[in-house]
Structure 1
Amino acid sequence: MGSRRGYRIVSVIAEDPREDFRPLPFFVYGTLRPGEVNHDLLLRGRTLAEEPGHLAGAVLYDGPGYPYAVEEPGGTVRGELVTARPEAYEELLAALDRLEEYVPGDPRNLYVRAARDVVRAVGGTARAWVYLAAPGVAARLRATGTRIADGDWLSRR
């Protein structure tokens, strides 16, 4: 980063680091949804609210026991918008990053955590953290992955 004539020059990256400090809700679409294996393990007692919603502009792929959301115009991924208890937010963010094996800036990430607008079932949108397939993973999934046609992980049963 540098500065010229009073302007700040910054590099453009997929994730906005300024949003790392805002307590955004989380959009969960796989094993963190109610009734799934990681919901009680990681979310029970740490949330204020959980409500249905969907992520527009993404599709869902089946992974080895868990799904991947891949950004794609025209698609929809169904899930829940989860609002953390304020006192549990930082701990929950760290726990979810560990679950998804997400380390900011690490090229080996399978997922990237990105802020996206999620459509609430009750109307309106909310900005939320979403774990999306990292670029290399997304390319492989588009080429050879199994897409979940309706965008709902729970429908795969």
Structure 2
Amino acid sequence: MRELPFFVYGTLRPGEYNHDLFLRGRTAAEEPARLAGALLYEGPGYPYLVRGAGEVAGELISAAPGGYEALVSVLDRLEHGYERQVCEVVRVRDGAMVRAWVYVATPAVRLGEPIAGGDWLSRRRDVRLPDVPRTP
């Protein structure tokens, strides 16, 4: 199979902590994309995706030249408990359908609540920090 990009939807998205740990310097392109026919859930500190009647926001990540096999290996180790599947995602910039690898949760991983709107980043923005009294 040719080198497919990856659709990432949670802590591997740009600006998130696993992106910095596992993807920084290993990608050639990162661009917004959406996956129809999927639902996003909040696990213990990370999201997980299952197939269902919804849509999930994420990023389409392409490996840096010469780094595809290493990237697959790193992501497969990180995403243990998930099944890597080929899915059709929509690239936001032009609406093109792109075949990509997507990590889909197995039943053993499923223990969270649905994330409304299917966007991990939006969910985080909705969390309100408590007001902290300021000292003069």
TM-score, normalised via structure 2 length: 0.85
Which of the residues 93, 97, 113 maps onto 1:146? 113
* 2:45 match: secondary structure: coil
1:83 aligns with 2:50: no
Identity %: 64
1:90-147: CA deviation from partner (whole Å, max 9, x where unpaired): 001000001112xxxxxxxx2100000010102111100000011x247x55xxx300
Q: Across the two proteins, how many residue pairs are aligned to each other?
A: 123
For 1:117, which of 75, 78, 88 is the aligned residue?
Answer: 88
RMSD between superposed Cα atoms in Å:
1.3
What's the TM-score, normalizing by structure 1? Answer: 0.74
2:56 and 2:103 mapped to 1: Cα distance? 12
Gaps of 5+ in 1: 1-20, 102-109
Q: Which runs of 5+ in 2 are unaligned?
A: 125-136
**Residue matched to 2:98:** 126
Are 2:17 and 1:37 aligned? yes
1:93 maps to which of 62, 66, 72? 72
Q: Where has structure 1 moved over 4 Å in runs of 4 or more? A: none
Distance in 1 (CA, whole Å) between partners of 2:87 and 2:5 is 10
Distance 1:65 1:88 in 2: 28
